[in-house]
Amino acid sequence: ILNVEQSPQSLHVQEGDSTNFTCSFPSSNFYALHWYRWETAKSPKALFVMTLNGDEKKKGRISATLNTKEGYSYLYIKGSQPEDSATYLCALRDDMRFGAGTRLTVKP
Amino acid sequence: KAGVTQTPRYLIKTRGQQVTLSCSPISGHRSVSWYQQTPGQGLQFLFEYFSETQRNKGNFPGRFSGRQFSNSRSEMNVSTLELGDSALYLCASSFNRYTEAFFGQGTRLTVV
């Protein structure tokens, strides 16, 4: 993998569903991986900064894991709510490459 | 504390002109990065400055340039504007590479 890739590109879930997205990245020269949440008409806001292989971070219903050896990170949202609707971005901090994002829509 | 401030918020320029955008980072942050977002595209990295030195540069033509001042404020310049330069330009500041970046509200540039 040469670039940061995110999947799926978009996701539509019902309120209460749990969901997860993937961020894949080149595993060489790893510094840190950032997850951001970007709501429409607002600026991206940081969710997590992950630096160590095996890192697990949690903030409320949202959590993330990191595997630097195989080059991927997962973001999980438990019990999705309509206010979780946003684009979720991951970024490699060494050269600031962002993935294209996963656009999540949570239907009431 | 004050957030990242970008000026101006909106700008309309004519093709061929040049433009300068400004970004004031959060106090104490020495890293400033610039991004371009166009419809249907993700955030495209332009460049990163740290302590007045360009640390990284994205894959953009030489018409795009930037600089950082001793107070960490940064400017981005685009010369000979093209219609395709119409985009939202975001800057983000952080203390270092291991800390979260804080984004400004962006400058919406329209080239006509």
| Res A92: pLDDT | 87
Residues from A in contact with B at Cβ < 8 Å: 31-32, 34, 43-46, 49, 51, 89, 91, 93-101
Number of residues in chain B: 112
Q: Which residue has the tokens 């991206």?
A: A44
- Top residue of B100, B105, B108 to mutate, by most chain A CBs within 10 Å, is B100
Q: In chain B, what's the furthest Cα-to-Cα distance?
A: 39
The pLDDT tens digits of the residues spanning A22-77 come to 999 988 778 889 999 999 889 999 999 999 999 999 999 999 999 999 999 999 99
pLDDT of B1 higher than 70: no
- Closest residue of A to B42, CA-based? A100
pLDDT tens by residue, A3-22: 899 999 999 999 999 999 99
pLDDT band of B29, cuts 50, 70, 90: very high
What does the alpha-carbon distance between residue A65 and residue A75 come to, in Å, rounded to a whole number? 7
- Both tokens of residue A89? 């971005």
B42 vs A49, A93, A100: nearest CB: A100
Distances (CA, A) of B27 to A14, B7, B36, B66: 41, 17, 23, 20
pLDDT band at residue A97 using 50, 70 and 90 as cut-offs:
confident
In order of A103, B10, B13, B35, the CA distances from B82 in angstroms are: 29, 17, 10, 17
Query: A-chain residues within 8 Å CB-CB of B33?
Result: 96
Contact A73, A62 (CB under 8 A): no
Is A2's pLDDT higher than 80?
no
Distance, CA of A106 to CA of B86 (rounded, Å): 30
How many CB atoms lie under 10 A from the CB of residue B48?
A: 26
Q: Which tens digit of pLDDT belongs to each residue from B34-50?
A: 999 998 778 899 999 99
pLDDT of B2 > 80? The answer is no
Chain A residue numbers with beta carbons less than 8 Å from the beta carbon of B58 are 96
**CA–CA distances in Å: residue B88 to residues A18, A21, A27:** 32, 25, 30
DSSP A44-78: -EEEEEE-STT-EEEETTEEEEEETTTTEEEEEES
pLDDT tens digits for B76-98? 999 999 999 999 999 999 998 77
Residue A87 CB neighbour total at 10 angstroms:
19
Beta carbons of A34 and B106 less than 8 Å apart: no
Confidence of residue B56 (pLDDT cuts 50, 70, 90): confident
